[in-house]
Amino acid sequence: METTDLKAEFVRKYGRPPRVFRAPGRVNLIGEHTDYNDGFVMPCAIDFATRVAAAERSDRRIRLASLNFPGEFEFDLDEPAIETAASWARYVEGVAALLERAGHRLKGADLLIESSVPIGAGLSSSAALEVATGFAFASLAGLALEKWELAKNGQRAEHEYAGVRSGIMDQFASAFGVENHALFLDCRSLDWKPIPLRNAEFIICNTRTKHDLADGEYNQRRADCEEAARILGRKSLRDVCLAELEFRAGELSDRLLRRARHVVTENDRVLAAVKALNEGRLDEFGRLMDASHESLRADYEVSSAELDLMVEIVRGQPGVLGARMTGGGFGGCTVNLLEREASADFIENVSAAYRERTGIVPEIYVCRAARGVSEIE
């Protein structure tokens, strides 16, 4: 949908012109389940985004509607409490309520939301919604919030309004995205650096599956990591190296050992991946992606039959340098690194093979690294 159409729809609905804000989804290239362990990640923002058309009101009410979901919702900034609202609306309410709780005075507003980020596919449609609406609320109120504050506020909404104890990666990528660059982030210091993607071609394959237990399993993984760090007497698994983990393996149960081993080796892989990308060694980057998938599958146990199948099919194609699941797991997408010339028949071949084995038609997108949150003029 064109922005002019979204604006026209807004005018039809609310009778006055809006401003339009956008924030992108993200794909994580490497560094999975490391963010909440104070570790390293390397996502990039993608050119699918959530757009928020918004105009202020003279009172303190927020009215919201979405072009992706049915229903209209309304709440008052002075008593935000729509327990029964649809989950997308709850995120928006959380974002507003938490900004207010942090001491920002917002204005009432009418909102119309539209998103091209595939929903529930592990490409952070919820982070895009949190960052875009946070930015819209702040902009309408004339507040110049730092991107970090928008990102952290979105993460808090995830914790408090969706019950998922997520890390900072998704909201960070949505806020800070840089065109044609991956983002290398140290989740402890919050130092980050854009890394040019140059001629690396990343392709995203959506398995179009999602497993119900994902949120509970996610929180369980995080709890496992915290328990492992506690037993090892460290603040977080960021502070453990592989040699130490192997030396002290006997202190951990088999499960905690495998969880910790994933995190520790994944952090090492991210650092190696940054170096490989900077030096243009894409084959090495691909090998690290393959190893990441194996670790997520066997040690961290967050892959799924469909993700494993997609990875297997992709690796069988010519010109593929690496393939792995991306995001929280239990369904969603894989991210794949291809040689430049390889992609001509790739999409068709992978689609056909996956459909034949599962009966599901996958979606396949070429990833273009996009800029982070902004207003559309």
State the residues that interact with ligand GLA by CB under 6 A.
28, 32-33, 35-36, 166-167, 169-170, 327-328
Q: Which CB sits closer to ligand GLA, 33 or 238?
A: 33
Pick between residue 32 and residue 110 the one whose CB is nearest to ligand GLA: 32
How many Å apart are CA 376 and CA 72, to the nearest integer?
A: 24
Q: Which of 35, 170, 224, 299 is catalytic?
A: 170
Q: How far is the CB of 38 from ligand GLA (least distance, A)?
A: 12
Shortest distance, position 1 Cβ to ligand GLA, whole Å: 26
Element (H, E) at 186: strand 181-186
Work out how close the CB of 172 gets to ligand GLA at its nearest, in angstroms, rounded to a whole number.
9
User: What's the CA gap between 321 and 302, in Å, rounded?
Assistant: 22
Which lies closer to ligand GLA via its Cβ, residue 42 or residue 257? Answer: 42
192-197: which pairs have CB atoms within 8 A and are 24 or more residues apart? 195/42, 195/274, 195/277, 195/278, 196/277, 197/44, 197/277, 197/369
Cβ count near 150 (within 10 Å): 28
Is residue 170 part of the annotated active site? The answer reads: yes
Q: Is there a contact between 88 and 129 (Cβ–Cβ < 8 Å)?
A: yes
d(CA 306, CA 79): 43
Q: Residue 328 CB, nearest distance to ligand GLA (Å)?
A: 3
Query: Alpha carbon of 23 to those of 46, 47, 142, 208: distances in Å?
Result: 10, 9, 18, 23
Q: Which is nearer to ligand GLA, 104 or 188 (CB)?
A: 188
In the complex, least distance from residue 210 CB atom to ligand GLA, rounded to whole angstroms: 13
Would you say 169 or 311 has its CB closer to ligand GLA?
169
Give the strand pairing for 201-210 and 320-325: unpaired
Question: Which of the residues are catalytic?
Answer: 170
